[in-house]
Amino acid sequence: KLTNLALIPSLPPNHPQFTIGSSIPLLSPVTIPQVVCKMRTCCQSTRTNHMSVFCVISQDPAVTLDVPLGAIGRVEKMGGASSRGENSYGLDITCKDMRNLRFALKQEGHSRRDIFDILFKYAFPLSHGLLLFAYLSQEKFEENGWSVYKPMEEFRRQGLPNDKWRVTFINANYELCDTYPTILVVPFKATEEDLRKVCTFRSRGRIPVLSWIHRENQAVICRCSQPLVGMSGKRNKDDERYLDLIREANGTAKLTIYDARPSVNAVANKATGGGYEGDDAYQNAELVFLDIHNIHVMRESLKKLKDIVYPNVEESHWLSSLESTHWLEHIKLVISGAIQVADKISGGNSVVVHCSDGWDRTAQLTSLAMLMLDSHYRTLRGFQVLLEKEWISFGHKFANRIGHGDKNHADQDRSPIFVQFIDCVWQMTKQFPTAFEFNERLLVTILDHLFSCRFGTFLFNCERARDTNELRSKTVSLWSLVNSDLSFYQNPFYTPESNRVLYPVASMRHLELWVTYYIRWNPLTIELLGLQYPFEPWHSTTGTFVPVCLNDHFFLPEYALVHFPSLI
């Protein structure tokens, strides 16, 4: 009696099916007597190697747990042949989307070995010489999401090129910088030779280039990586002159350089050849450190947050536990830094933003500042352009930070930088509920497919790698799904205000934990609400999967007021 499988595409003939023994705990406090685990594995003509479907059947209604294989970060065996006692033998599945699953199995029959081998193989395809699911998907949509972002169209929307800024194709073959896009906007007076010289003095060759220009005062946001100053305090006249050209483009008295790092980290980076712009060398620039910590600190912070929201939320120690994660403090620093950038631009002063390599904290700051300054990016399609431009084309290392298809869960390059950015966006939507055309559902959908590997949008580290792997021709864009039914992601309270600059309050008193995202998998939440786990039901009319989360069924703040009052 698989009551809920009607919503799930059928499995192919002769597909492996495993019955897992009795008394299966999902995770405390929920215990489920019997589990039938059907795992969709490799079949190129269907979606079967995209999702593991755990069908839990104790009594009506049955519970279905859909887990995208791409969301699995770790699979471990629990217990051994000598294990005794209830729930001492089975599998632990750690997911990248804030949930953990634990299944107890019977020791006889060696069912665990078969289940483990299949899960491990298809959850980590790149580690087994297999393709990511996005390359096997046969999904079709009316709109081609790869056409959402066209660099020249976006630059023309901003009024570029003009007499101060020009478009260059010097990176057309990724020869200047292999992690930058092919089309760049640079100061009009900077020659191609100037760009090559500056490239040698910036980490990874990521020279300062224009991200956004204010139409009225012509102040610009430029992004780059740290200068290669080193312990000896090296100088580069070409780099110094180049930053002066940025300053002169709109007559700014002093160029403001926002270094996202804590100052002590920037100083420490000198030991590895990096550093920051010193006053002596860059006399027409003001350097401001924003004290945002690195990828390792953010990874540990989110890990601590996961520990306090899953599997249990302890009401009695909630506030102190949340504080100990420092997650909201990091959110505050990122938003605060973006506010400073936006404020400078509004005042007519150009800025340069960088961190170490310019693909993590830099992307957070530039894109958030642009959300505050430009109402176009607050629309459904404009937000897609923002992500494509500032994150995808400018080389945020999605493959390294997320670990798509890679079994190495302990990789020190993993970090929730993009998750943190989307959290910051959510904080802004809470403070300005009528300013954004998109709703919370879009943000959750984006994060779900950040991990799922169902679409090609967030795969690989840079544009060059995507071109090499023929991403646009062989995979489907997430925006194809989103734009097939925009009404699903629309904010009904949206009120367009074209010239309004948003200044969110970056105060701990005004920041909230994103409960709908971080606590949606908590078993107590599911149990008390009488809901199934969030899943993607089959849309019978369009033949596509439509993302659904808990927010479709209830408003979490109402629920939290009753059960977790300290969350509000």
CB 568 within 8 A of CB 561: yes
3-state SS, one letter per residue, for 125-188: HHHHCCCCHHHCCCCCCCCCHHHCCCHHHHHHHCCCCCCCEEEECCCCCCCCCCCCCCCEEEEC
CA 329, 332, 336 angle in degrees (round to 5)? 145
Residue 356 counted as an annotated binding residue: yes
**CA 222 to centroid of chain Cα atoms:** 22
Quote the tokens at residue 36: 């039938």
How far, in Å, CA of 154 to CA of 377, rounded? 11
Three-state DSSP at 245 gives helix
**Residue 84, Cβ neighbours under 10 Å: how many?**
8
- 504, 428 in Cβ contact below 8 A? yes
Helix (H, G, I), strand (E, B) or coil at 503: coil
Q: Which runs of consecutive H residues, i.e. helices, occur in 68-141?
A: 111-123
177 is in an annotated binding site: no
Q: Which residues are catalytic?
A: 355
Q: Is 358 annotated as a binding residue?
A: yes
Whether residue 359 is annotated as binding a ligand: the answer is: yes
Q: Are strands 90-95 and 285-289 parallel, antiparallel or unpaired?
A: unpaired
As given in the structure block, the two tokens for residue 565 are: 């009052």
State the Cα–Cα distance between residues 475 and 112, nearest whole angstrom.
33
3-state helix, strand, coil in the chain (%, to 5): 40, 15, 45
Give yes or no for a cis peptide into 25 (omega within 30° of 0).
Answer: no
Phi and psi at 108, nearest 5°, equal -75, 150
- Asked whether residue 70 is marked as a ligand-binding residue, the answer is no
295 has binding-site annotation: yes
Token digits of residue 306 = 């996961």
Strands (E), 355-443: none
Is 327 annotated to bind a ligand? Reply is: no
In this structure, the number of other CB atoms found within 10 A of the CB of residue 299 comes to 17
- Closest C-alpha among 2, 39, 35 to residue 21: 35
10 Å CB burial of residue 294 (0-12, 13-18, 19+) is middle
Which residues are documented as binding site for substrate? 294-295, 355-361
Which residues are documented as binding site? 294-295, 355-361
